[in-house]
Each structure stands twice: as structure tokens, then as C-alpha cells.
Amino acid sequence: MNLKERLKQNKVFYYLLHTLRKLLQNRIISREQVRFERIASEMGIAVEEDTVGVFHLLRERLEQREIVWPPDNAERPFHILYASLPGNWELHNIPPELEKLGKVTCFFLKEQDIRLEAGWPAVRQCVDAVLPTFVQRIHEESPIDMMLSYLSGAQVSPITIQKINRLGIPTFSFHLDDRRYFYGYRYDGQWSGPAAVCRAYDLNLTNARSSLLKYRCEGSNVLFWPEGANPDYFRPLDIPFEYDVTFCGARYGQRPLLMDYLRRQGIKVDCFGKEWEHGYQTDEALVRIFNASRINLGFGFVTDSDDQCLKGRDFEIPSCGAVYLTSYNDDLSRVYRTGIEIETYKNFADCAEKIKALLADPERCEMIRRSARKAVLERHTWALRIRQLLDCTGVDLYQ
């Protein structure tokens, strides 16, 4: 173990470093949010969620390019282009769910002979050169009805998205890290975050309602769009419980501090992931762990800050029909019936109390498991998320 790893394992050093990072990150996120709230107020921009208005603006924008939305594909299958890096979590989630809606073509940077180790400016230059040609070729062979991407300013330039728009293809992009990295870092004259490209996309999709005004202040259209799950992959398994409490995820931020606190309260917690005692787990192993745990812990915090956003685990664990206990934030109460479909905690002491109460009440835990799986199947699959964009209505799919 090198010096850096030893220092990270030292509880006093870790606490001091986390506290310093938290102060700095809280300040950055807070100042950015206040700035956008001021701009929104000066420009008369609404900060409330408005699904009906978002889809109205989407239709207007597409009509300017003579595109009817949603498309009428009576004579052929609906065709979606999905563009991303991608991360491992995407492969089990999004492409299989998109295939339930029609034909899917994937543009993955990892499969395009793009040297990711060369750095983001070089990667972006390659994507800008390759992606428009790829899309045009596929579009000529089989018309593309929409492009959904997980590409931000680090991977693509706005002019590339505009080229795709001019082909008559509606462009949508989701962004999962815009609470902390809406601008991100400056690479070769362009921000790495969604701020660099959001105006080029026909519709931006954010998993944090508090980020809506950022996109609007940048002159783009944006929809609150939580993550989802593929219920065929993240599914209940008929296996016995092996663990009382588990956490699956990387070791950073408040996570080690909570684990230390819970263990001091006499609660046994098994942790899986980078730098934890059980180490990295395959996705297949994670599904088994979710099912084998009486309680699965979650964290909604953004890096070391006190700010929160929705996480993929918020949907993958309930999709397994498992008990999920995670940190409370307002967006969670927007998508789940807390206390019925999932459970939440507001601080370390509350977390310990909730764990002890749940472990002592197996009947309630079984009710939560059934409700969680039902909630995902009815409201939180990735296929339903895409269907919402195609139906283009203000119907609330989240509650």
C-alpha cells in the first residue's frame, strides 16, 4: 500500500480531507446555483418544472426543421441511434430497453478506434470527425427517428450536434453530473460539461430538478428525467439472505464516515466496490448482492458535497425487489412513495435507527420489496423513460 492509500485509510486524515473538500464543493455548487437563480430572475425565466411547456417548445423547434414529433412510423420500425462512451452500467440498461421500442443502432466511442487515453481534446476531435459521417451513413440506409446520447462537452462539439440536426434527426441528450459539472473543466477552449453543448440539442434531460434553470439560462430546452432500470437484468432472484446490510459503490465522500458510525452502533455493514473490504464486483455479482441483502444502503450525495441528485442505484436496487435505504432528497419524493416503495434517512443517527427498525420488522420489509418492484415495472424502466419522450405529453410517469 503506497503513502496515498495509507493516508486515505487513516480515519483522522480522511475526515479532515473530506471536510475541506466538502467546504470547497459546497461553495462552488452554491455560488453557481445562486448565480443562475439571479440570472433567471433578471430574465424572467421560470424555475418550476413544466413538462407540458417543455414538449411544446420541443415540437416548435422541430417544426422549424419540418420534423413532426412524435413520428408516425406505420410503415417501418422506429429507429433510435444511441451514442455514448459507454459505461458498464449503460450496457445492461439502455440498449436492451431501447430495443423494446424498435430498431437500435449504437455509436460507442470505445468501438470506434478512438484513443481514449489521448485525452478529451483529442477524443472530441475524433468524435467530431467520425460521428456525423457515421450518422449520415446509417440514416441513408435506415432513417433515424431520434438520437439519444450521453455525450457532453468533453466528448463532442455543438457544431457536430447541429450537423446531425440538419439531417432531420431530433437530438436528445441526458446529463447525470450537472449539479457539480454543468460547466466542468476547460479543454481546448470548450467546457467539458453540458453547458458547452446544451443549446445544440433539441432536448436536454437532467436527473436534478434544481438544474433546470441552468439549462434555461443557457437558452436550451430541458426536462426533468430521472434514471431508470432494465427490469429484465435487475430482477428478483430466489436466493436466501446472506447479509443484513450492504453498500455497493466506490469509497469516497461521506460514505466511509457513515460506515464507521454504523459499525460503532453495532450494525454489521458489508461494503463492496473500489477500496472497500470486498473490492470490485461484476454487475452480475451486484444483482446477486442486492437480492441477498436484507437492506441495501444508498447515498445521493454529489462527490464530497452536501448536495444531492438521483443515482442509478435508486432504480436498480428497487428493480430487484430489494429493500433500499438511501439519503433523503426532494427529487426522491418526486419519483417514489418514501416509506412504502423505498425508505430514506436524513442523517447518520436516523440511518442507524431506520436500519434497526427494518431489521426488526421483516413483514414491513417484505411489503417494501413488493412495492419497490411494482414501482419500477409501472413507472421507472428505461423503456418508459423513452416512451415519455415519444408520447410527448405532460402525463406524470413518476408517481
pLDDT digits (tens, 9 = 90+) for 28-53: 999 999 999 999 999 999 888 899 99
Question: What pLDDT is stored for residue 44 in this prediction?
Answer: 93
Q: Is the pLDDT of residue 256 over 80?
A: yes
Which residue ranges form the domains of the chain, and what is each CATH number?
46-228+382-391 (3.40.50), 243-379 (3.40.50.2000)
How many angstroms separate the CA atoms of 321 and 358, rounded? 15
The stretch 213-230 carries a mean pLDDT of 96
Yes or no: say if 385 and 228 are a contact pair by the CB < 8 Å rule. Answer: yes
Going by pLDDT thresholds of 50, 70 and 90, the confidence category of residue 395 is low
Of the candidates 285, 258, 271, the one whose C-alpha atom is nearest the C-alpha of residue 352 is 258
How many angstroms separate the CA atoms of 65 and 165, rounded? 8
| Angle at 181 (CA atoms; ends 153, 126), nearest 5 degrees | 20
Going by pLDDT thresholds of 50, 70 and 90, the confidence category of residue 76 is confident
How many angstroms separate the CA atoms of 359 and 268, rounded? 12
Higher pLDDT, 4 or 28: 28
Cell numbers for 48: 418550476
pLDDT digits (tens, 9 = 90+) for 109-165: 999 988 888 999 999 999 999 999 999 999 999 999 999 999 999 999 999 999 999
Cell numbers for 399: 408517481
| Angle at 342 (CA atoms; ends 295, 95), nearest 5 degrees | 95
In the chain, what is the greatest distance between 2 CA atoms, to the nearest angstrom?
65
Sequence-distant (6+) residues with CB within 8 A of 323 are: 293, 294, 295, 296, 343, 358, 365, 368, 369, 372
DSSP letter assigned to residue 338: B
Sequence-distant (6+) residues with CB within 8 A of 265 are: 352
The stretch 202-229 carries a mean pLDDT of 96
Cα distances from 225 to residues 174, 211, 326, 384, in angstroms, run 8, 11, 19, 11
Yes or no: say if 194 and 152 are a contact pair by the CB < 8 Å rule. Answer: yes
Cell numbers for 24: 470547497
The stretch 71-100 carries a mean pLDDT of 92
3-state secondary structure of 365: helix
Q: Is the pLDDT of residue 205 over 60?
A: yes
Higher pLDDT, 357 or 88: 357
**Averaged confidence pLDDT in the chain:** 94
DSSP letter assigned to residue 173: E
The stretch 354-374 carries a mean pLDDT of 98
Cell numbers for 395: 402525463
The backbone torsions φ and ψ at residue 172, rounded to the nearest 5 degrees and listed phi first, read: -125, 145
| Angle at 225 (CA atoms; ends 70, 227), nearest 5 degrees | 115
Q: How many CB atoms lie within 10 A of CB 321?
A: 23
The stretch 216-222 carries a mean pLDDT of 96
pLDDT digits (tens, 9 = 90+) for 260-283: 999 999 999 999 999 899 999 999
